[in-house]
Structure 1
Amino acid sequence: MNKQQLAAKIWQSANQMRSKIDANEYKDYILGFIFYKYLSDREIIFAKKVDYSDEDIKSLSEEDIEAVEYFKKNIGYFISYKDLFSTWIKMGKDFDVSNVRDALSAFSRLISPAHKKLFDGVFDTLQTGLSKLGESAASQTKAISDLIHLIKGIPMDAKQDYDMLGFIYEYLIGMFAANAGKKAGEFYTPHEVSLLMSEIIADHLKDKKEIQIYDPTSGSGSLLINIGKSVAKHVDDENNIKYYAQELKQNTYNLTRMNLVMRGLLPHNIVTRNGDTLEDDWPYFEESDPIGSYNPLYVDAVVSNPPYSQKWDSDNKDADPRYASYGLAPKGKADYAFLLHDLYHVKPEGIMTIVLPHGVLFRGGEEGVIRKNLIERNNIDAIIGLPSNIFFGTGIPTIIMVLRQKRERTDVLIVDASKGFIKEGKNNKLRACDIRKIADTVIKRKPQPKFARLVTRDEIRENDYNLNIPRYVDSSETTESWDIYATMFGGIPVKEIDELNKYWDALPGLKETIFSNISTDYAELKADELKHTITNHLSVKTFVDSFHQSFAGFDDFLKNELLANTESVKVNSEETVLSEAIFSRLESIPLIDKYDAYQILDDRWNVISVDLEIIQTEGFSANKAVDPNMVIKKVKGKDQEVQEGWVGRIMPFELVQETYLKNELKQIKEKEQRLLEITSGIEELFDSFSEEEKEGDTVNEAKDSFVNAAVGKEAKLLKVEEKKNGVFEEDTYEAKILKVDKLIDEQKKLNSQVKAETAKLHGKTKKTIEELTDEQVYELLELKWITPLINSLNNLPGSVLLQLVDKVQALAEKYATTFADVMNEIDKTKSSLALQIDELTGNEFDMKGLSEFKVLLNAE
């Protein structure tokens, strides 16, 4: 199973196991054990790398001083064999909570002095929280045993180390945050926001060979890691990126360290601090070597998502170099204190991005003073308004502010990205196309109507340094207007037709084919079959042909990029290569939004990239591998994991069947279709029964379906009677029962056949995958990766034309019925009703009432 599937499975199981423990606390336990497994596995991998045999590893103990020092020197710590994660698993029923306490205690003693800051106290939260996993040692042991068996399946051998642990770690953090509300959400930046900030920073740093990045409110460390991954796309050596992190809360600080370590970063590239960023700033130095370790910390990029509007102590901070030139944030809102802290640590040519509440753009007082100074000192590069409800635990509107120490331009790019998102549960989520569009807009500083605008400093001054986004960018939907003349007399206003000018400009002559002018200001629809008229117009055909010509050979390009280089393609940067190829082909094509095409690519890339990671880490043979399909099922009232057949590690069974086992699949599909027809036939016969007939034994108590056994029993008797007296007449109760019985018999036989043939096909598919030739593998990869992408891209022109059809149709229908038509219809209805009233009879009072009703209808 791939890493997404494994992560989802661990989350599902962990959530079931969690019981009454708060999600935010339980997170610390499961993630702590994952980290301990990582360190244990890493020690074993290193031991085997330096030629330790399995027996040598079993003899590792704290008493072997030479071995202890050797491991500490090379990996920074030492774990005895008895304390390894894998040993706990092997202990079975002999495992006890005391084994964990002893192991964690030993780990803290056996850290290399050079790695003390990185590992010291990293398991404190886990160690002190073990007692919360149960009321007794026995219950604690069971809970821990369940946990370690849950995560034991995470592979960490050399073949499968494609950031598996790191991915699962971040996935779980995100899921805990999403399900635990503000408590967990306050330290987690959604991946999409993190990715947006990363792309902006990475582009700014793309030409640097050595890079330092810093997060002063690092939380789980995920934001810092995503920045690093984006920056790594542009550098030759990922080891030239150095990570600095500071976090106030001890348990969250531990998350930062665990997360960074598990990404395989070199220990000397990780510098972390546990402390209050606003109170305990750098310079940093070791007390044992204050001169040699002194570091004032000026970095290439700072990124942060600080706690919003937090209280802070601004007393005696006037002379603090972070704030002295700009002003002090109010005590009740530390937002600008965090921003100024970040800016202070940016090198002159560096960049920073920070997530803040929308209020920092317009609040007055001390914040207004700081905002003015930032603008006058030319520090604010861009402001991005994000959708609401994008962060876990808070629905308040947020922004990303991009700042620099040194800028040549004096304008500010203001982007209103609040409208681009997809709804996911209670939260809104940026899509890949939204992220790319925002990042491109910021990087290229490209104004766009209703989305982004370059605002001069003079205009900001005129607005008294208020940066509220709606003052500068109006992203609201255009209010629909109604033409009073067209409403009364009909016709379509030419000015409303002209609102579709982007289509008319791109498709010359189409407007004249669709509409004919009634006057200079009004037109009417002259095309009877609108869709047919549009799709068959010469300019439309030219547009579609131009698209297909532009993308001619794109499938060959994809084959060369992905199939010819399957084991060497750079997964982290290949999507960018493909997107640029798509964008360049769309440059001369009007109407098609390149970000729609990018979303199509990204949707497919989520599948392709996972497959590529597996192939590159496990080898080409992974294409021919199948794995047990494990599912959770109730067994004797308890959830248990059981195997239900097989799944291809990369190759979907259905794709293999559709390609190489068509006949077998077709036969099953035909039988399944016949089963649907039988079900429909039985339902029709049931519906034809009278209420009296439904009272018999052949119908269940709920009166909604047949009782098969009773139908069979009665049909048996009817067949005997039929032999004696002849065939029952059509549509009689007896004839229907015999039909139902026949259908039920056929249904049973077909169900049995489908089950047997499906099982046989499943086994044959497994064997087919395992025996695939290399040529067949490439054919299947093309069908899985490239064909769906090409097909989706080829649908783009059709989607654009359907939008045009809908818009024109809506415009025509808008004024199709005039006010006069409505009044005429009302008059007709009144007249008709009055005539019907004349036909009514009644007593004296009835007739007086009806007469008055006719007066009200104005029908006299």
Structure 2
Amino acid sequence: MNKQQLAAKIWESANKMRSKIEANEYKDYILGFIFYKYLSEKEEKWLHEIDYQDEDIKQYVNEEDGDLVHNAHTKLGYFISYEDLFSTWINMGSDFSVDNVRTALSSFSRLISPSHKKVFEGIFATLETGLSKLGDNTKSQTKAISDLIHLINDIPMDGKQDYDVLGFIYEYLISQFAANAGKKAGEFYTPHEVSLMMSEIVANHLKGHNEIKIYDPTSGSGSLLINIGCAVSKYMDKKDNIRYYAQELKANTYNLTRMNLVMRGIIPDNIVTRNGDTLEEDWPYFDETDPVATYDPLYVDAVVSNPPYSQNWEPSGKENDPRYSRYGLAPKSKADYAFLLHDLYHLKPDGIMTIVLPHGVLFRGGEEGEIRKNLIEQNNIDAIIGLPANIFFGTGIPTIVMVLRQKRENTDVLIIDASKGFTKEGKNNKLRPCDIKKITDTVKGRLDIDKYSRKVSKEEIRANDYNLNIPRYVDSSEETESWDIYSIMFGGIPENEIKQLDKFWKEFPTLKEELFQSNGSHASIKVENIKKAVEDNNDVRKFVNEYKTTFAGFRDELKEKLIDNVSQIQIMMEEDRISEDILGRFNNVKLVDKYEAYEIFKTNYDSIAGDIELIQAEGKDSVRQVDPNMVIKKKNGKDTEVQEGWKGHIIPFELVQNTLLKDDVTEIENMRIQIQEISSKYETIISELSEDDKEILGDALGENKDEFVFKNIKNTIKSLKMYGDSEYGTLIDSLKDVEKMNNEEKSLKSDVKKSEEQLQLKTKDTIENLTESDAEYLLECKWINPIIEGIESLPESIISQFEKKVEELTKKYQDTFEDIEREIKKTESELSKMMDELTGSDVDMAAIAELKKFFGGDF
């Protein structure tokens, strides 16, 4: 299975395992064990590299070998004895105990290299102290831990894919725990999509840098830092030239930061972390044992942070703190600007920072208003991005991302209202790939986009008393629907409402006259079939054909890049190249939103990337691989994993069946149709039986007469024959027909089951023996067809939306006020006549007579 499927499987199992333990707590246990597995396997890999065989590891890898421990400290920064390795736990079987874990974690802490104390010291403290919460006694704790380590044992950590699978699963689990952790989620997690958006903005600014320092003063799980490092590394030759600085207040979350950074393959020398209060314990940083040589004032190329919103802090005594002295002190009840100014202070002159803040920082007065004024006057605020509400776990408040710099050439502020771009996912809103791309493109190009973004001058901001509330500058509200009084009374479509479709009339200049007859300020529709008239229009046809030409050759380019070059492709870089190619093709395309095309590509590419990773890690023959299809079934009251057929490792069975094995699928589908027809026929016979026949059946069977056919039709016929064939001959004949059809249905169902089993095996055999050309064809069907078909369908979607708008506009004024009044009177008259036919008591008739006055208008 690919990394997405594996991550989902592990999460589903882990979520069941945690039982009543809070998600916020359980994450520390599973993520801690994943990290321990990573360190264990990293050591085993190193031992194999220095020619240790498995038997040597078992016999000689212990702390009594001082040279080995020293070499491990030099190479890894830690040492784990054979008896404490993760793989040893797995191999112990029923001899494994929670005490093995306690001993191993204690030994790990004792055997950390002195040079790596800052990276590893106390990193398992949360896991170590939390083991007792996994059960009421040693036996139950052992069972819980054993289940957990066997679950995560499936995660590959052999380095073939640069730990990308491990990193993905770790990030995925953190996000899922965050989604289930309520308000506490904000302590350790920034939604991945927001993190990606911030990272792309930072990475674009840092293009061309050979060495980079990045810093997160409220690091949480460390994901923001990692995403920035990943985004920046695309533009660098050496990813080891990125140095990561992190600070986190909560000890268990601080441990997540360090685990996450280490597991992404970042060398320990590039990881500098602190566990402390960012606002109270600022850098300069120095090691207490050598304050002079280790003094580091910390000025970095990028700062990124998602600090706690509007929390209390202590500003007293900080008037001369260099972080705040130029701008002012944030109020005691709201530390938002304290975090912002802290971040800004640590930027190099050419650096950039992005910070997530509550919307209120844009307009609140008092001390915050003064700080905001100073930031604007000193030209630090580069961009403000308004995000959708309810996008962060644990809070529904509207938030923004603010982009700041120490020095800028521009004096304006780019304001973006991105609050309308999201998809609903569970209880939360989520940025889509197209939303992220549009935001980052807008920031990179400092673009003015109607109802979305605008560069606002310093003079305009001053005129608004330094209030940066987004709606003051960008109006993203929808047009309110209006009604034309003349059209309501006399009919016709107002020209000004037709003009609202101006972007279509510009692209289809002859279409308006073909659809509408103008009568001055109003118009009437000229055609009966709007859809046909639109699609037959020459300008519309020209638009569709030109769009197709724009993407001519795109399929072949994707085949060459993704399929022909599958073993060598650099997945992330190729994604960027294809994305830019798609967006570039829209330079001369009107009406179609290029970001919709990007969304289609990106959504599909995420799945493609997973397949490519497998092919690159396992070889091209992985396309011909099938795996057991394991499902969870109840067995003896317990959930048990059992095999139920097979599935493609990369190529889905359904795809093979719908392409290479169409005839087999059609044959089975035809049998299913026959079954439906037979079922319909005999059910019709039963339903058409007379009430007398049904009564006879009830007497004959002494049971529910509506169910006799489906229980035992032979006994039914036999019972009736006992009363004499001549008396019930017709009914018996009908039942014999039903019996014949019922037997035929059973036979067909049996044939379908056999055919499906044969098709399953034939599909397995087909995948395992695919020719090179068939394998490439199936990859094209799976990877490329959805992208091409999705992008090619966009003009049709736009035209369909346009047709709908014209239809709605036509129907809106189709009935005048007079028409409606006439229809009401007609209905009242008809109802009044119907009342004349009613009969009843004197009281009833008096009430009906009174009601008739209302319908007749006689008051």
TM-score, normalized by length of structure 1? 0.96
Q: Deviations over 1:370-407 (max 9, x none)?
A: 11100111101111111111011110111100101101
Query: Corresponding residue for 1:798?
Result: 796
Once the two structures are TM-superposed, the CA of residue 714 in structure 1 deviates from its matched residue by 1.7
Q: Give the letter aligned to residue 819 of structure 1.
A: F
Task: Kindly state the Cα deviation for residue 689 of structure 1 after the two structures are TM-superposed.
Answer: 5.7
Aligned residues of 1:627 and 1:647 also touching (Cα < 8 A): yes
- Pair 1:188 & 2:189 matched: yes
Mark the CA change 1:32 to 1:682 in structure 2 (over 3 Å): closer, same or farther. Answer: farther
Q: Deviations over 1:402-446 (max 9, x none)?
A: 101101111111111111111111101111111111111111111
Shift of 1:758: 1.5
| Residue in structure 1 matched with residue 370 of structure 2 by the alignment | 369
Asked if residue 812 in structure 1 is aligned to residue 814 in structure 2, the reply is no
Query: Given that residues 382 and 414 in structure 2 are in contact (C-alpha distance below 8 angstroms), is that contact kept between their aligned partners in structure 1?
Result: yes
3-state secondary structure, aligned to 2:450: coil
Q: 1:701 to 1:301 in 2, by over 3 A?
A: farther
How far 1:457 moved relative to its partner? 0.9
Task: State the distance in 2 between where 1:464 and 1:704 align.
Answer: 80
Structural mapping, 1:466-545, within 5 Å: 466-517=467-518, 519-545=519-545
Q: How big is the shift at 1:142?
A: 1.0
DSSP 3-state at the match of 1:588: coil
In the alignment, structure 1 residue 634 sits paired with structure 2 residue 634: yes
- Residues 343-422 of structure 1 mapped to structure 2, 5 A cutoff: 343-422=344-423
Alignment partners' CA distance in 2, 1:432 and 1:702: 59
| Aligned mates of 2:176, 2:744 — CA distance in 1 | 48
Q: CA deviation at 1:159?
A: 3.4
Instruction: Indicate the SS of the match to 2:480.
Output: coil
- Does the Cα contact within 8 Å between 2:488 and 2:817 map onto a contact in 1? yes
What whole-Å deviation, never above 9, does each CA across 1:36-86 have from its counterpart, x for those lacking one?
Answer: 001111111111122211111112111111111111111111111110001
> Could you say what secondary structure the match of 1:634 adopts?
strand
The equivalent of 1:609 in structure 2 is 609
Q: Note the 1:40-189 alignment, pairs <5 A.
A: 40-59=40-59, 60-159=61-160, 161-189=162-190
Deviation at 1:681, TM superposition (A): 4.3
* 8 A Cα contact 1:686 1:706, kept in partner: no
1:147, distance to aligned residue in structure 2 (A): 0.8
SS class of match (1:315): coil
Corresponding residue of 1:764: 762
Structure 2 residue identity aligned to 1:554: F
3-state SS of the aligned residue for 2:180? helix
Q: Select between 773-782 and 174-183 the one with higher mean Cα deviation.
A: 773-782
Q: Counterpart of 2:565?
A: 565
In the alignment, the residues of structure 1 paired with residue 684 and residue 29 of structure 2 have an alpha-carbon distance, to the nearest angstrom, of 57
CA distance in 2, matches of 1:153, 1:565: 29
Task: Kindly provide the amino acid, as one letter, of the partner of residue 800 in structure 2.
Answer: L
Distance 1:643 1:90 in 2: 24
Q: Distance in 2 between matches of 1:40 and 1:252?
A: 22
Q: Alpha carbons of 1:714 and 1:848: their partners in 2 closer, same or farther (altered >3 Å)?
A: closer
CA distance in 1, matches of 2:152, 2:650: 22
Residue pair 2:163, 2:264 contacting (<8 A) in 1 also: no
List alignment gaps of at least 5 residues for structure 1.
Answer: none
- What is the CA distance between 1:185 and its match in structure 2? 3.3
Q: 1:8 is aligned with what amino acid?
A: A
| Distance (Å, rounded) in 1 between the aligned partners of 2:810 and 2:612 | 50
After superposition, the Cα gap between the structure-2 partners of 1:813 and 1:637, relative to the gap in structure 1 and judged at 3 Å, is: same
* Structure 1 position 338, deviation (Å): 0.5
| Contact 1:326-1:373 at 8 Å conserved across structures | yes
* Offset, 1:310: 0.9
Q: Distance in 1 between matches of 2:704 and 2:295?
A: 82
Contact 2:720 2:728 in 1 (8 A): no
Query: Kindly tell me: are residues 633 and 836 of structure 1, through their superposed partners in 2, closer, same or farther at Cα, counting changes over 3 Å?
Result: closer
Matching of residue 589 in structure 1 with residue 589 in structure 2: yes
Task: Determine if contact 1:309/1:335 at 8 Å carries over to the other structure.
Answer: yes
The sequence identity of aligned pairs, in percent, is 61
Deviations 1:101-122 (A, max 9, x none): 1100111111112211111110
| Correspondence for 2:579 | 579
How far is the alpha carbon of 1:624 from its aligned partner?
A: 1.5
CA distance, structure 2, for counterparts of residue 685 and residue 207 of structure 1: 80
Given that 1:686 and 1:705 are in contact with CA atoms closer than 8 Å, whether structure 2 keeps it comes out as no
Kept in 1: contact 2:285–2:294 (CA 8 A): yes
Q: Check whether the contact 2:516–2:526 (CA below 8 A) recurs between aligned residues.
A: yes
Identify if the C-alpha distance between structure 1 residues 536 and 62 changes in structure 2 by more than 3 Å, giving closer, same or farther: same
Counterpart contact for 1:245–1:273, Cα < 8 Å: yes
Deviation at 1:638, TM superposition (A): 0.3
Letter in 1 for 2:20: K
Counterpart in the other structure of 1:781 = 779
The equivalent of 1:599 in structure 2 is 599
Deviation string 1:127-150 (CA, Å, 9 cap, x unpaired) is: 011111112111111111111111
Displacement of 1:836 in angstroms is 3.8
Contact kept in structure 2, 1:718 and 1:738, CA below 8 Å: no
1:294 counterpart = 2:295: yes
Gaps of 5+ in 2: none
Deviation per CA, 1:544-573: give whole Å up to 9, x if none. 110111111111111121112111111112
Q: C-alpha root-mean-square deviation of aligned residues, in Å? A: 2.2
Q: Secondary structure at the match of 1:43?
A: helix
Contact 1:534/1:805 (<8 A) preserved: yes
Aligned residue for 2:585, secondary structure, equals: helix
Contact 1:192 1:429 (C-alpha < 8 Å) held by counterparts: yes
Superposition pairs for residues 642-791 of structure 1, below 5 Å? 642-681=642-681, 684-685=684-685, 687-688=687-688, 708-715=710-717, 725=726, 729=730, 734=732, 737-791=735-789
1:86 partner letter: S
In structure 2, what is the Cα distance between the partners aligned to 1:411 and 1:706? Answer: 82
1:349 touches 1:406 (CA, 8 Å); kept in 2?
yes
Cα distance between partner residues in 1 of 2:98 and 2:216: 36
8 A contact 1:162–1:613 mirrored in 2: no
Deviations along 1:720-744, one digit per CA (max 9) or x if unpaired, are: 999x559965xxx655544443333
In the alignment, which residue of structure 2 is the partner of 1:307?
308
Q: 1:702 to 1:492 in 2, by over 3 A?
A: farther
Deviation readout 1:438-493 (Å, 9 max, x if unpaired): 11111111111111111111111111111111111111111100001101111111
Task: In structure 2, give the amino acid aligned to 1:714.
Answer: T
- 1:854/1:784 Cα in 2 relative to 1: closer, same or farther (>3 Å)? closer
Shift of 1:207: 1.9
- 1:495 aligned partner, one-letter code: N
Q: Distance in 2 between matches of 1:689 and 1:271?
A: 84
The normalised TM-score by structure 2 is 0.96
1:291 positional shift: 2.6
**Deviation larger for 753-762 or 394-403:** 753-762
Match of 2:242 in 1: 241
Match of 1:316 in 2: 317
Mapped contact 1:831–1:859 kept (Cα < 8 A): no
Whether the 8 Å CA contact 1:216–1:247 is kept in 2: the answer is yes
**1:577-604 residue CA offsets vs partner (Å, 9 max, x unmatched):** 1121112222212110001101110111
Range moving further from structure 2, 613-622 or 825-834: 825-834
Deviation at 1:708, TM superposition (A): 2.4
Distance across 2 between alignment mates of 1:590 and 1:640: 56
C-alpha deviation, 1:685, in angstroms: 5.0
Cα offset, 1:299, TM superposition: 0.9
Query: 155-164 or 22-31, which moves further after superposition?
Result: 155-164
> Could you list the per-position Cα deviations for residues 652-676 of structure 1 after superposition, in whole angstroms to 9, with x for gaps in the alignment?
1111222322222222222233334
Counterpart residue number, 1:202: 203
- Paired with 2:825 and 2:111, the residues of 1 have a C-alpha distance of 95
The answer to whether the Cα contact below 8 Å between 2:163 and 2:263 also exists between their aligned partners in 1 is no
Q: Which amino acid aligns with 1:549?
A: T
